[in-house]
Amino acid sequence: MSKRHHSVAFKPYCQHQVHLLPQSLDDLIAPGHPVRVVSQIVDKIDIEPLLATYRGGGRSSYHPRMLLKVLIYAYITNVYSSRKIEAQIQQNIHFMWLAAMEKPDHHTINRFRSSRLKSVIKQVFAQVVQLMADAGHLTLKEVYVDGTKLEANANRYTFVWGKSVKVNKEKLVDRLHELWQYTLSVTADENLHNEEPDFSQLDAEKIQQTVDRIDKALQGKPISAKIRKIVTEARRNWAPRFENYCQKEQILAGRNSYSKTDKDATFMPMKEDHLNNAQPKPGYNVQVSSNNQMIVNYSIHQTPSDTTTLPEHLDEHKRMYDQAPEVVVADAGYGSEENYVYLDANGTEAYVKHNHFDAEHNGKISHKRTFAVDHLHYNAEHDFFVCPMGQRMHKVADVSTKSANQYQRSRSEYRAANCNGCPLRGPCHKTNGNRSVVVSTKGMKLKVEASARLKSEKGIAYRKKRCHDVETVFANIKFNMGIRRCRLRGKEKVNIEIGLIALAHNLKKIAV
């Protein structure tokens, strides 16, 4: 042994020493550690709805409160795979403490996450948020709303486009119609001539019947090999193909697309490369309301646009907390007439930008937009617009449209009397005849009111805070928690996943 080692003092190291009193696991968990916060909060919530998902009988189950704590804590520590959670339960002292040394395996964890939590995750989340609100960590009255697109756990190349389904379905019906017409031209069968099927009301069964009738009528007729080939193909394939298109339309349910590997996922543009180029990928539109950088509400949508999601998202807030928020702050993606009307009807003060607010506020109105309808003078008393040359534009028609959410939007068409020879004709409008504008005067008024609120002292403060509130939430989820893609498939399971992410985000926030 060297001389130098004699002078170093080591603490005693004896791995196999038997302690007189075994140390309690609880002694090893630091006071105020996030794992304790998770445990305390989950102990306080009513898990009756969760217990109701168990049928009873059979083998004893792991306690749902324990599994819930384990899952939330796993998400706090960025552990999302059920196998990795199982490993943590066997080797990580914090998980061991939460699980009280029980050892559920990854199957149990997965089943609990994807089946038991399905119907109760929102109730669990709402209770936790309510506890946080009662403790003064946040308020439910003032929320900042924004959305983000989360890529689905689906193959990017197995897409079904609504447009191509529609076109192919129409083409098939057209081909059947043509074949029918041809058959009529070569047969004198009166029944066939008198009983033409309704080609606008077809289903797979009717297609098969029609093809069979065509086939029968053409039997023994001198038809070309080409036509015979078409009839053979029609008999074999057209009905199942039509059925397939109908099934696809059912899955689409009005969406523009879906992925074959997660049929609930819709293709939407996602800005993910360093140049912010939008690429269509299968995903979900996740809407979040926040307060004090904590998540108050979340909802999953299958449409890429944020505008139409707001009423459903805020209805969810009302359902969870029995009241609508008093203040909603959101960016220009939400500034529609329908949303302003919805917020007003719920007694909510809206600090929601409309799409031209920033340009107008910063004085950066493009030359083109100086002729836009919202820059024309409107005389509300006598209901007419004044065009840039000072000519009156009177109402000529009313136009009513329904939005995706069934909101009835009433607009009117106003037309200038004579644009002939006007020097402003080029920049003003390019259509033939006199200029006409279709506009909702109600929408215009709501935008003016929204602008006034946004420019008020309160509005400026809310606008500043919005960037540091809800956007911070997304930054934490994407960059700190590393959530760039869903792990589970299907809207219901994605809803569970986002619920756990939201719970983890919130509890981490109050724990550290």
Number of chain residues interacting with ligand SF4 (CB under 6 A) = 12
Q: Which stretch binds ligand SF4 (CB under 6 A): 12-20, 192-200, 323-331, 415-423?
A: 415-423
> Following DSSP, what letter does each residue of 458-491 receive, concatenated?
HHHHHHHHHHHHHHHHHHIIIIIS---B-SS-SH
How buried is 193 (Cβ within 10 angstroms: 0-12 exposed, 13-18 middle, 19+ buried)?
exposed
| Residue among 422, 438, 510, 511 that touches ligand SF4 (CB under 6 A) | 422
Nearest approach in angstroms of CB 413 to ligand SF4 is: 13
Residues 6 or more apart from 329 whose CB is under 8 A from it? 142, 143, 144, 145, 351, 352, 462, 463, 465, 466
Q: Which stretch binds ligand SF4 (CB under 6 A): 144-152, 329-337, 381-389, 485-493?
A: 381-389
| Residue among 384, 388, 444, 490 that touches ligand SF4 (CB under 6 A) | 388
- Helix/strand/coil percentages in the chain, nearest 5: 50, 15, 35
Nearer to ligand SF4, 136 or 390 (CB): 390
Note whether 294 and 506 are within 8 A (CB): yes
Q: Which stretch binds ligand SF4 (CB under 6 A): 54-62, 258-266, 424-432, 456-464?
A: 424-432
Note whether 231 and 212 are within 8 A (CB): no
Nearer to ligand SF4, 171 or 425 (CB): 425
Nearer to ligand SF4, 58 or 426 (CB): 426
Nearer to ligand SF4, 96 or 419 (CB): 419
Residues 6 or more apart from 21 whose CB is under 8 A from it? none
Helix axes 64-76, 82-91, angle to 10 degrees: 100
DSSP 150: E
**Alpha-carbon distance 376 to 419, whole Å?**
16
Query: Residues for the chain: how many in total?
Result: 512
> Following DSSP, what letter does each residue of 306-366 receive, concatenated?
SGGGHHHHHHHHHHHHSS--SEEEE-GGG--HHHHHHHHHTTPEEEE--TTHHHHHTT---
Q: Is 391 in the site for ligand SF4 (CB under 6 A)?
A: yes
Q: Which stretch binds ligand SF4 (CB under 6 A): 15-23, 231-239, 343-351, 382-390?
A: 382-390
Nearer to ligand SF4, 85 or 416 (CB): 416
Q: Is 387 in the site for ligand SF4 (CB under 6 A)?
A: yes
Nearest approach in angstroms of CB 425 to ligand SF4 is: 4
Nearest approach in angstroms of CB 447 to ligand SF4 is: 22
| Residue among 135, 404, 424, 448 that touches ligand SF4 (CB under 6 A) | 424
Of residues 425 through 484, those in contact with ligand SF4 by CB under 6 A are 425, 428-429, 435
Residue with tokens 């797979």: 204
Nearest approach in angstroms of CB 373 to ligand SF4 is: 11
Pair of tokens at residue 138? 């946040």
**Alpha-carbon distance 128 to 42, whole Å?**
8
Q: Which stretch binds ligand SF4 (CB under 6 A): 234-242, 423-431, 456-464, 491-499?
A: 423-431
Nearest approach in angstroms of CB 440 to ligand SF4 is: 19
Nearer to ligand SF4, 139 or 436 (CB): 436
C-alpha of 374 from chain center: 31
Residue with tokens 């003003």: 428
Nearest approach in angstroms of CB 418 to ligand SF4 is: 7
Nearer to ligand SF4, 28 or 424 (CB): 424
Nearer to ligand SF4, 391 or 472 (CB): 391
Nearer to ligand SF4, 62 or 371 (CB): 371
Q: Which stretch binds ligand SF4 (CB under 6 A): 74-82, 99-107, 197-205, 418-426?
A: 418-426
Residue with tokens 């038997």: 18
The closest alpha carbon to 406, from 303, 325, 308, belongs to: 308
Nearer to ligand SF4, 256 or 391 (CB): 391
Contacting positions for ligand SF4 (CB under 6 A): 387-389, 391, 416, 419, 422, 424-425, 428-429, 435
